[in-house]
């Protein structure tokens, strides 16, 4: 695949990815939840590696004018800017840099969530075991 084909595929993948992201009910709240970077790799066996898309929230006026704007008490200005990385290594490097700058340890948070979920599931199973069988 040459550079022109790669850029066309990246443009197509980014357009589709942004569309699905913008349609997601969580989308308007991502930056307010502290999610300011989204990384997504693209490729398949037939074509091969297309690239890693990095969307990052930038608090700038995007100059978009809406026909029927929603009324919000707070005016949020910002845009999701994109960068493409053409190697998996570069995408991995960027992901590690983003992770290292976070003030929380995401891995530890995920372990805590998993432990809490497993505890909940175990409690649920024990309550099912205590219920008498109906004949």
- 36 or 31: which leads in pLDDT: 36
Is 80 exceeded by the pLDDT of residue 122? yes
pLDDT of residue 97: 94
| Stated pTM of the model | 0.70
pLDDT band of residue 105 (cuts 50, 70, 90) is confident
pLDDT band of residue 135 (cuts 50, 70, 90) is low
The DSSP secondary structure of 93-130, one letter per residue, reads HHHHHHHHH-SS-HHHHHHHHHHHHHHHHHHHHHHHHH
Q: H or E element: which one contains 56?
A: strand 48-58
CA 46, chain centre distance (Å)? 25
């Amino acid at each position: 695949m040459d550079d022109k084909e790669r850029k066309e595929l990246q443009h197509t993948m980014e357009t589709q990815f942004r569309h699905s992201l913008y349609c997601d009910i969580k989308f308007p709240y991502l930056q307010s939840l502290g999610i300011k970077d989204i990384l997504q790799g693209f490729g398949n066996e037939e074509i091969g590696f297309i690239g890693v898309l990095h969307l990052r929230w930038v608090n700038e006026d995007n100059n978009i004018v809406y026909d029927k704007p929603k009324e919000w008490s707070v005016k949020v200005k910002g845009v999701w800017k994109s960068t493409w990385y053409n190697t998996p290594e570069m995408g991995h490097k960027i992901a590690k840099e983003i992770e290292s700058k976070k003030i929380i340890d995401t891995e530890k948070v995920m372990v805590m969530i998993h432990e809490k979920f497993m505890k909940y599931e175990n409690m649920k199973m024990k309550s099912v075991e205590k219920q008498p069988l109906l004949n």
